Structure 1
Amino acid sequence: MESMKSKPREATGSDLSEQIKAATKDSHVRAENTQLMLNYQKGQITQTQYKLLLCSLYEIYRALEAELDRNADHPAVQPIYFPQELARLETLELDLEHFFGPHWRKRITVPAATHRYTQRLREIGKNSPDLLVAHAYTRYLGDLSGGQVLGKITQKSLGLSGNKGVFFFSFPGVTSANRFKQLYRSRMNSIELTEQQRREVLDEATRAFEFNIEVFDDLQKMLSITEEASSGKGNDVTSKTFSSSPALQFALGVGITLATVGMGVIFK
């Protein structure tokens, strides 16, 4: 009887964090091998692409953190609610102001792909807060893992000094990323869920990754169009064509995946 009791945790991994990692394993591999992710890891990212990425990230985190704040006392959210250590909204505002100036809010467009994702976050925040666990785990632990690598690549590729333009990758409230990730997983594993709720959380994690991979592939297809749109008009034409170019608006929408998939690729 004792061996049977210990078997589920040791053999099948009954911890929620391990189950999510196993459920999204294939998605991680596919994300790592998309052409755009491979290019990013080689440092092949332009300032225009990065600015579009920041705009999508801002909308995503605005929705995610609003729902986490609103559901802070929910029994599934409370254990993994770390606004002081993890909140990204203010860092994104700093980065957007760096690139777009003090009136950056007027220069952000919310295209369809980003809008659909934020809609999903607000929907589950209102009706199924326990599913926020899947999105928070995927986003924040990704930012603390693979995101740190991409932050250094971005800084070097764009010639940015200090943290200017890359505050998003900085976590001053986290002294040790590895220890904090262990704490986060431990707190997440303590959440009490029914078997049905657990299955729904796993499905939501997979759904988030699959959605982003599809968008990731769409962005790769559109990159050549955005490059053609900017050729002959200077190295960075985002400020002039941000709201008028359909290609750039589309790329802004699909740019979400650079973070949601790219920075969530490596969980260590």
Structure 2
Amino acid sequence: MTTNLALQLRQGTTKAHSMAENVSFVKSFLGGVVDKQAYRQLIANFYFVYSAIEDEMKRHQESQIIKPIYFEELNRKSSLEEDLQFYYGLEWQDKIFPSPATKVYINRIHEISNTSPELLIAHCYTRYLGDLSGGQILKKITQSAMNLSGGEGTAFYEFKDIKDEKNFKQNYRLALDSIHLSDSAIKSIVSEANIAFKLNMKIFQELNSNFIKIIAIFLFNFIKRIKLPGFKS
């Protein structure tokens, strides 16, 4: 018996998905405008988010609900570590921190893992299927915007253990549909997926706010300079 969970997740998050794509930071990114400082903080934020998701998924990997969608080839933690070393250097672990919005996100993941682990499905669906679907496009944008060559700084977008991403996504959706869930559990998972989108949006909004602050400080300092006697442009 199929639950049509994959379809219900897609249909139930359409509005949240659209809202996430319209956050200024995301729109700028998709338009090819990528600030390196903001981007490397995003990678750091994702490192903490995926570490939380993957730790909790591993914890519940043998449960009847989590086991059908526990695919280690989806894990992003090691790929993010590779990117963090590129952006921050060998001592990257001493230089990164989760932003306030990221702390809220990872606290949510740990909370539901302790109380309702089936809700982890929502976070996996929101992040991993999105990564598989848009990864190569985002990789090209990142490479072009920051003049990167080869695979430097873009390991996050590479799923080296997945040979056919389209086929894998189809199998993942079938696995979602195979999980035995009550109607109320499905509604809770769809609701949690919308929360996941909102948590991602908060991270993007935070990055956009920080980027605007940087530009404002730069402009303020520049204006101060041009007011100084003897300044020449």
TM-score > 0.5 by shorter chain: yes
- Answering whether residue 29 of structure 2 is matched by residue 44 of structure 1, we say no
User: Paired residue for 1:70?
Assistant: 59
User: Paired residue for 1:121?
Assistant: 109
- Answering whether residue 53 of structure 2 is matched by residue 92 of structure 1, we say no
User: Paired residue for 2:4?
Assistant: 15
- Specify the code of the residue in structure 1 equivalent to 2:19: R
Flag the 1:93–1:218 CA change in 2: closer, same or farther, 3 A: closer
User: Paired residue for 1:133?
Assistant: 121
User: Paired residue for 2:96?
Assistant: 108
User: Paired residue for 2:229?
Assistant: none
Name the count of aligned residue pairs.
220
Structure with larger Rg: 2
Cα distance between partner residues in 2 of 1:134 and 1:92 = 21
Deviation at 1:46, TM superposition (A): 1.6
Question: Does the Cα contact within 8 Å between 1:35 and 1:220 map onto a contact in 2?
Answer: yes
Question: Does the Cα contact within 8 Å between 1:68 and 1:77 map onto a contact in 2?
Answer: yes
User: Paired residue for 2:231?
Assistant: none
Gaps of 5+ in 2: 222-233
Cα distance between partner residues in 1 of 2:79 and 2:202 = 27
Question: Does the Cα contact within 8 Å between 2:28 and 2:34 map onto a contact in 1?
Answer: yes
RMSD: 1.9
Task: Report the TM-score when normalising by structure 2.
Answer: 0.89
Question: Does the Cα contact within 8 Å between 2:20 and 2:198 map onto a contact in 1?
Answer: no
Question: Does the Cα contact within 8 Å between 2:42 and 2:207 map onto a contact in 1?
Answer: no
Deviation at 1:27, TM superposition (A): 1.2
After superposition, give the CA deviation of every residue in 1:181-210 in whole Å (9 maximum; x if it has no partner).
000000111000111211110110011112
- Answering whether residue 34 of structure 2 is matched by residue 30 of structure 1, we say no
SS at match of 1:145: helix
User: Paired residue for 1:159?
Assistant: 147
Q: Which one of the candidate residues 201, 215, 228 is aligned to 1:213?
A: 201
- Specify the code of the residue in structure 1 equivalent to 2:48: E
Cα distance between partner residues in 2 of 1:153 and 1:140 = 19
Task: Report the TM-score when normalising by structure 1.
Answer: 0.77
After superposition, give the CA deviation of every residue in 1:122-166 in whole Å (9 maximum; x if it has no partner).
111122110000100111000001232111100111111111111
- Specify the code of the residue in structure 2 equivalent to 1:200: S
Q: Which one of the candidate residues 69, 87, 90 is aligned to 1:80?
A: 69
